Amino acid sequence: MNGFLVIDKPSGMTSHDVVAKVRKRLGTKRVGHAGTLDPMATGVLVVGVGNATKLLQYIVDGTKSYEGTIALGASTHTDDKEGDLTFTADPTKLSLITDAQIREKINSFVGTIMQKPSAVSAIKIDGKAAHQRVRDGEVVDLPARETTISKIDIHSIEHADGAILVAVTVDCSAGTYIRAIARDLGDLLEVGGHLTSLRRTLVSPFSLRESGDIESIERADLIDTAIGIARVLPTRDLDFEEMTEISFGRSVTANPANGIYAALSPTNTFAALLENKDLGGKVAATPKLVAVQE
């Protein structure tokens, strides 16, 4: 049993909870996920089953799209609504914040920027997730890292009692934290900010439109590994002789271009990942990963 599932993760479940549920429903242990979603968040979680688990790293790297709501006027230790309050803005100062100021500051995040991840994240420090270190009472200060935010659209700005609610859509690269955008927007406006809702609508090229409910997922919902990886990587076909060569880890005729190719068997199943290498003056496609043929 091999392939990808696109799950619409419900709120309250961790990404690992989803993996455990898929294992139980499909009766297999070889299950993994691409790109962690916080328990509060909902939306697209791509799950790999069987040999597709080894390809999830190429899914993780895809462009992400999110819909979220930022609450200005307070900060929390998790940068979202599930955390403890660490700061509350003066109501008078909050009332002076204009829509134009919000739009100006949020637009400053668009582009390639250095973003400091939330302390409560899945980033590992010496093998232990940052969020677990925070829960254990440790003080975590993660260094800023480069990320690209290609677009932030503001859909509405609501001036509510004690808060300003900003509904946004964000298109960004892997490794971008929407909670950090909420936090940093609040810092720039000097009123604090945190995330109150988050829904992932795209892990390119897999979208919410093709997602399914975790409670009703079945084997028939699997996107075949060959079909799924062809949406992410260029492909090439192998003949039976080449299949034999790669099964022994040997090189075959070079790929049409440089970069990683997904190689498909004569029966159109996923066979291997191949990458061109110069082998003593001759370029050939060398296996990076060979799938077990079932």
**Catalytically annotated residues:** 38
Helix (H) / strand (E) element for 55: namely none
Q: Which string of b and e fits 74-97 if b means at least 16 CB within 10 Å?
A: bbbbbbbbebeeeeebeeeebeeb
Residue 279, amino acid? L
What's the DSSP call for residue 134?
A: H
| Residues 199 and 41: beta-carbon distance below 8 Å | yes
Helix (H) / strand (E) element for 228: namely helix 225-229
Structure tokens at 148: 């690209």
Give me the sign of the Cα torsion angle 1, 220, 288, 145: negative
Angle at 114 between CA 159 and CA 116, to 5 degrees: 65
**Which of 107, 108, 74, 85 is CA-nearest to residue 183?**
74
Radius of gyration of the chain (CA): 22
Count of Cβ atoms closer than 10 Å to residue 133 Cβ: 18
